[in-house]
């Protein structure tokens, strides 16, 4: 078996908690198979970028590189999170078109290529992840790297016209052609890429999801929906009831039902709309008032980016307003917490919650939805309210699917979930748990890597 080399911006280093689905997923995948994980150290240094660090644990060798303040500003906070992130989440209104950050993004990708190329062997399998590193494979090829390279996009692929609104889009997305396999979260994302490549990238369909590229090569484009470590999450959840944080939360509810949301504090997650949908539920179903507490966990994310800071201010205002409007002296309807929790605790919270609320405006997959399902007590499962605009909706048909912009629809879903009889809850949960068990993180990893191995190596 060839050595696996995973490359991603975010690396879950030993001893650090891995918030964010990419790091959570890759950690589980690499723990099972072993290999090299290469990426940003997460450190911002004063001097030049590029200093490498090494660590090893449980069969994983970690090689990470530091980035200078200027490079982090341009590559991560700038082009990745103020240009590509909104573009890929269908938010043209938030896209920053600054040229300087684009140059920084290409500079850092070239640095990744310079540092990674000497570590690679001819028979390695390289798997590059996400929008931070779109040009990397092409830069590795320029440096003589000939081994198989696959790419997986964790976020949505927008429609062709949205993608084409980015200046220099053909250079950026055309760089993806340097891979041997392109993976997306859902078939709809994969199809939107094929459509972009046909309309703007000089490619033609070559059957069975393949594209014929302008240079005559064929490239497979396919969906590989990411999963979770289902067994481990279910075990954590079953054992979590005795954890002090879980016991304290249970005691604090005073016999009321719990609804839970867990999201990075990100505008793609639809938190203002969710809070307003909850408020609409309390207005339209006054008989439910005082019977349910909604806990929203939202650790601060990308706090140096202006749009994220504004969102934080906005949410504090909305949360205060909702509680001011609906709270009683002995009941606070909305608890809003900016702390990060480990999975050992989080799974206990999920299991205690009668309702899981996952209503992003757009999401590549959303692992929280799958973790909520895997954490339930099979004898008495909760109900998942899920946005039809999350990648997870393609698999979790047993959820109450909602349009996250439709506040009345979200309000109705809260009411329906709170009143749902046990038989229907079990039926819906069974239908969701089957794909969550079948398409777990190990199946995702094996599925992508087998498909990459099956592609004939590109003749270069």
Ligand X SMILES: O=P(O)(O)OC[C@H]1O[C@H](O[C@H]2O[C@H](CO)[C@@H](O)[C@H](O)[C@H]2O)[C@H](O)[C@@H](O)[C@@H]1O
Ligand Y SMILES: O=c1ccn([C@@H]2O[C@H](COP(=O)(O)OP(=O)(O)O)[C@@H](O)[C@H]2O)c(=O)[nH]1
Reading across the β-sheet that carries 292-297, which strands appear in turn? 334-337, 292-297, 257-262, 355-358, 383-387, 400-402
Closest CA relative to residue 134, chosen from 309, 30, 8:
8
Identify what 192 binds: ligand Y, ligand X, none; CB under 5 to 8 Å per kind.
Answer: none
399 binding ligand Y? (CB under 6 A): no
Strand boundaries in 301-434, DSSP class E = 334-337, 355-358, 383-387, 400-402
The Cα 422–Cα 316 span in angstroms is 35
Q: Give buried/exposed letters for 21-49 (b at 16+ CB in 10 A, else e).
A: bbbbbbbbbbbebebbbbbbbbebbeeeb
DSSP 8-state class, residue 233: H
236 binding ligand Y? (CB under 6 A): no
Nearer to ligand X, 126 or 228 (CB): 228
Two structure tokens written together for 428: 């819906």
Identify what 262 binds: ligand Y, ligand X, none; CB under 5 to 8 Å per kind.
Answer: ligand Y
Nearer to ligand X, 41 or 354 (CB): 41
Q: How far is the CB of 39 from ligand X (least distance, A)?
A: 10
Active-site annotation holder among 89, 106, 129, 154: 154
The answer to whether 363 is a known catalytic residue is yes
129 binding ligand Y? (CB under 6 A): no
In a 13 Å sphere around the CA of 111, the CA atoms on its Cβ side amount to: 23
The answer to whether 89 is a known catalytic residue is no
Q: How far is the CB of 364 from ligand X (least distance, A)?
A: 3
Full 3-state SS string of 384-411: EEEECCEHHHHCCCCCEEECCCCHHHHH
Burial label for 15, CB within 10 Å (0-12, 13-18, 19+), is exposed
Q: Which listed range, 17-25, 55-63, 114-122, 313-321, lies at the site for ligand Y (CB under 6 A)?
A: 17-25
The Cα 232–Cα 273 span in angstroms is 32
Q: Give buried/exposed letters for 56-77 (b at 16+ CB in 10 A, else e).
A: eeeebbbbbbbbbeebbbbbbb
**Which residues inside 157-196 make contact with ligand Y, applying CB under 6 A?**
none
- Site residues, ligand X (CB under 6 A): 10, 20-23, 25, 130, 154-155, 226, 301-302, 363-367
CB 197 within 8 A of CB 209: no
Q: How far is the CB of 371 from ligand Y (least distance, A)?
A: 5
**Which residues inside 251-290 make contact with ligand Y, applying CB under 6 A?**
262, 264
Q: Which listed range, 27-35, 123-131, 360-368, 423-431, lies at the site for ligand Y (CB under 6 A)?
A: 360-368
Identify what 411 binds: ligand X, ligand Y, none; CB under 5 to 8 Å per kind.
Answer: none
DSSP 3-state of 158: coil
Beta-bridge partner residues of 218: 212
Among 60, 145, 258, 367, binds ligand Y (CB under 6 A): 367
Active-site annotation holder among 124, 180, 189, 363: 363
Q: How far is the CB of 115 from ligand Y (least distance, A)?
A: 25
452 binding ligand Y? (CB under 6 A): no
Strand boundaries in 77-142, DSSP class E = 125-129
Nearer to ligand Y, 201 or 382 (CB): 382
Nearer to ligand Y, 174 or 270 (CB): 270
Among 36, 234, 297, 383, binds ligand Y (CB under 6 A): 297
Burial label for 150, CB within 10 Å (0-12, 13-18, 19+), is buried
Nearer to ligand X, 130 or 440 (CB): 130
Q: How far is the CB of 352 from ligand Y (least distance, A)?
A: 15
Q: Is the alpha carbon torsion for 386, 387, 392, 396 positive or negative?
A: positive
Nearest 10 degrees: Cα torsion 34, 40, 43, 46: 140
Could you tell me which residues come within 8 angstroms of residue 121 by beta carbon, excluding any fewer than 6 positions away? 3, 147
Identify what 302 binds: ligand Y, ligand X, none; CB under 5 to 8 Å per kind.
Answer: ligand X
Among 192, 236, 280, 343, binds ligand Y (CB under 6 A): 343
Identify what 368 binds: ligand Y, ligand X, none; CB under 5 to 8 Å per kind.
Answer: ligand Y
Among 41, 366, 375, 387, binds ligand Y (CB under 6 A): 366
Among 4, 10, 21, 65, binds ligand Y (CB under 6 A): 21
Nearer to ligand X, 130 or 229 (CB): 130
Give the active site residues. Answer: 154, 363
Q: Which chain residues interact with ligand Y by CB under 6 A?
A: 19-22, 24, 262, 264, 297, 299, 340-341, 343, 346, 365-368, 371
């Amino acid at each position: 078996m060839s050595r696996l080399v995973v490359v991603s911006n975010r690396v879950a280093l030993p001893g650090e908690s891995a918030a964010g689905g990419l790091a959570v997923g890759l950690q589980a995948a690499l723990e099972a198979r072993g290999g090299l994980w290469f990426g940003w150290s997460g450190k911002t240094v004063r001097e030049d970028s590029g200093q490498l660090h090494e660590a090893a644990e449980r069969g994983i060798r970690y090689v990470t590189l530091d980035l200078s303040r200027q490079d982090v500003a341009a590559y991560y906070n700038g082009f990745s999170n103020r240009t590509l992130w909104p573009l890929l989440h269908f938010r043209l209104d938030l896209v920053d078109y600054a040229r300087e950050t684009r140059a920084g993004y290409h500079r850092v990708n070239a640095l990744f290529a310079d540092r990674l190329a000497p570590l690679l062997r001819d028979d390695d399998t390289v798997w590059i992840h996400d929008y931070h590193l779109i040009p990397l494979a092409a830069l590795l090829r320029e440096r003589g790297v000939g081994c198989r390279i696959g790419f997986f996009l964790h976020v949505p692929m927008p429609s062709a016209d949205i993608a084409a609104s980015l200046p220099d889009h053909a250079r950026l997305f055309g760089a993806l052609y340097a891979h041997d396999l392109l993976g997306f979260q859902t078939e709809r994302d994969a199809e939107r890429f094929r459509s972009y490549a046909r309309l703007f990238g000089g490619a033609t369909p070559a059957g069975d999801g393949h594209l014929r590229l302008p240079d005559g090569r064929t490239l497979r484009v396919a969906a590989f929906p990411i999963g979770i470590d289902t067994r481990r999450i279910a075990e954590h959840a079953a054992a979590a009831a005795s954890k002090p944080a879980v016991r304290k939360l249970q005691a604090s509810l005073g016999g009321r039902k719990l609804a839970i949301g867990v999201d990075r504090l990100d505008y793609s997650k639809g938190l203002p709309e969710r809070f307003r949908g909850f408020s609409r539920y309390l207005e339209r179903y006054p008989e439910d008032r005082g019977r349910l507490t909604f806990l929203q966990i939202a650790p601060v994310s990308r706090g140096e980016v202006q749009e994220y800071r504004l969102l934080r201010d906005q949410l504090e205002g909305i949360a205060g307003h909702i509680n001011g409007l609906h709270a009683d002296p002995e009941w606070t309807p909305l608890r809003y917490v900016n702390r990060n929790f480990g999975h050992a605790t989080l799974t206990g919270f999920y299991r205690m919650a009668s309702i899981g609320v996952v209503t992003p405006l757009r999401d590549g997959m959303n692992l929280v939805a799958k973790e909520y399902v895997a954490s339930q007590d099979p004898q008495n499962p909760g109900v998942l309210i899920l946005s039809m605009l999350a990648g997870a909706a393609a698999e979790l048909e047993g959820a109450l699917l909602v349009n996250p912009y439709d506040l009345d629809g979200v309000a109705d879903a809260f009411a329906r979930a709170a009143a749902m009889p046990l038989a229907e809850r079990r039926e819906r949960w069974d239908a969701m748990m089957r794909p969550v068990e079948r398409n777990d993180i190990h199946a995702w990893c094996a599925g992508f890597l087998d498909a990459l191995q099956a592609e004939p190596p590109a003749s270069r």
